[in-house]
Amino acid sequence: MYNYDDYKKAEKMIIFPLEEVGDAIENGKLDLGTENAHVKNHCDKVLEHRPKFFNRSEVVSGYEFWFNEHGRVYVPQTEKNFNAFIDNIFQMKGNYSQFQVDNYNLIRQYPFLLPVNRFDGGLNLSGDFIYEFQYTELDDLPKGWRNSFVKDLLKELKKELEKHHLLYCYRILQLKEKFGGLRWYDFSNTENGYAIIEKYANISQHTCVNCGAEGKMRNRSWIIPLCDDCETQPSVKLNLYER
Ligand SMILES: [Zn+2]
């Protein structure tokens, strides 16, 4: 059975701002190995069952959502139920911009790009912030990477996760560029999955963050890989996080 006390322990981690968690992992101050094992364990146990802390239900447009005490809703962790859930929240609101439709399609293809809470896996559908496909986890990566090797990374990672039945419980902790290289922090990955990420982290170091072409490390106000063409552009012209 699912261990609620273990969950409460993990939930305390929410107090760490994500940037600090990433830095703590990198500096060896946070033993993510243990956390990983914990969440993997959690993942196995709740795969088919809604955890009991999502205990308040509300029916919206004929679909039953389950909320926890933080106002987040439970995101199902099986293919059929996850897709039904995503389709329902997508249909709740019309008049999407094209980028929101693109985000919906991306999440349908890669469920782990849905920005859920790091520890309870819930999605904000109430309160001050309501998720309406405004962004995905990928938005934290520079566009040159998003438009080049990241597409291959996603395909390979998905295949690996599917092989181990982890696709619908695998979670992103944080994605970012740091010191010119890809940082991809996650939960519930496999050994081979980590090897895939390492392979692309190496590729990132010589891939232009602006256009995705072959590049090398440049010392701007910070260190980033740029191709020869983009290197001639002033930093203000490099809008790395535009869609
Ligand atoms: Zn470039």
In a domain, 34, yes or no: yes
pLDDT digits (tens, 9 = 90+) for 59-87: 988 898 999 988 899 998 889 899 999 99
Provide the domain count of the chain: 2
Pair (172, 113) in one structural domain: no
Q: How many CB atoms lie within 10 A of CB 37?
A: 13
Decide if 117 is inside a domain. yes
Same domain, 9 and 116: yes
Is residue 144 a part of any domain in this protein?
yes
- Evaluate whether 66 touches 56 at the Cβ level (below 8 Å): yes
Mark whether 12 and 89 lie in a shared domain: yes
Query: So what's the pLDDT on residue 152?
Result: 98
Q: Where are the alpha helices (DSSP H) in the chain?
A: 4-11, 18-26, 32-46, 79-91, 98-109, 143-146, 149-163, 191-204, 228-231
- 78 and 198, same domain (yes or no): no
Question: pLDDT of 188-240, one tens digit each?
Answer: 888 999 999 999 999 999 999 999 999 999 998 889 999 999 999 988 788 89
Q: Is the CB of residue 175 less than 8 Å from the CB of residue 184? A: yes
Examine the domain organization and report whether 106 and 76 are in the same domain.
Answer: yes
Domain assignment present for residue 24? The answer is: no
Q: Which of 78, 101, 136 is the last residue of a domain?
A: 136
CA 204–ligand 1 middle distance (angstroms): 13
Question: What pLDDT digit, counting tens, does each position of 82-104 carry?
Answer: 999 999 999 988 899 999 999 99
With tokens 């959502």, the residue in question is 65
Q: Are residues 132 and 160 in the same domain?
A: no
This prediction's pTM: 0.79
Question: Are 93 and 145 within one domain?
Answer: no
Ligand 1 center–CA 231 separation, angstroms: 7
Ligand 1 centroid – CA 26 distance (Å): 28
Whole-number Å distance, alpha carbon 207 to ligand 1 midpoint, is 8
Q: How far is the CA of 208 from the centre of ligand 1 (A)?
A: 5
190: left (phi over 0), alpha (psi -120 to 50) or beta: beta
How close is the Cα of 238 to the center of ligand 1, in Å? 9
Q: Which of 118, 136, 154 is the last residue of a domain?
A: 136
- State the distance from the centre of ligand 1 to the C-alpha of 217, rounded, in angstroms: 12
Reading the block at residue 193, the tokens are 């999955």
Residues 125 and 152 in one domain: no
* Domain with 81 in it: 4-16+29-136
Distance (angstroms) between ligand 1 centre and the Cα of 7 equals 44
The pLDDT of residue 50 is above 60:
yes
57 plus 152 within the same structural domain: no
**One domain, residues 12 and 112:** yes
* Last residue of one domain, picked from the residues 80, 112, 136: 136
